[in-house]
Amino acid sequence: QGQLVQSGGEVKMPGAAVKVSCKASGYTFSAYGITWVRQAPGQGPEWMGWVSAYNGDTNYARKFQDRVTMTTDTSTTTAYMELRSLRFDDTAIYYCAKSPFLRPMDVWGKGTTVTVSS
């Protein structure tokens, strides 16, 4: 089924940007997409968007549309999520997960903690 390994935790100032990576292995990377989900402390999961590893097509949640970019690099089987103009309430665990177009997420990374603090 595969494995997703995410980059390490980050601490950022308000207004900065963060870029989280997600390295895939054990499956045909370009045959699926990657979904990004975040989870604030004590809250449920929040879907941020999806990127196709086949052609780079994206679908973002309206809430993040203006400040998120999701990309993939098939040469390194790695997906990236960049979130800009960080605010205190962006403090959360950010997960990547393997999923085809409009399908459930069957493999998850362990999460990357992003802390926004002054």
CA dist 100 and 77 (Å) reads: 15
CA 30 to chain centre: 16
- Residue 85 CB, nearest approach to another protein (Å): 20
Total site size for another protein, rule CB under 8 A: 22
Binders of another protein among 50-109, rule CB under 8 A? Answer: 50, 59, 61-62, 95, 97, 102-106, 108-109
CA dist 85 and 90 (Å) reads: 10
Q: Among residues 87 and 103, whose Cβ is nearest to another protein?
A: 103
- Residue 49 CB, nearest approach to another protein (Å): 8
CA dist 52 and 63 (Å) reads: 20
Of positions 46, 69, 71, 73, contacts another protein by CB under 8 A: 46
Question: Following DSSP, what letter does each residue of 63-82 receive, concatenated?
Answer: GGTTTEEEEEETTTTEEEEE
Q: Which residue has tokens 């605010």?
A: 87
Binding residues for another protein, rule: CB under 8 A, are 1, 35, 37, 44-47, 50, 59, 61-62, 95, 97, 102-106, 108-111
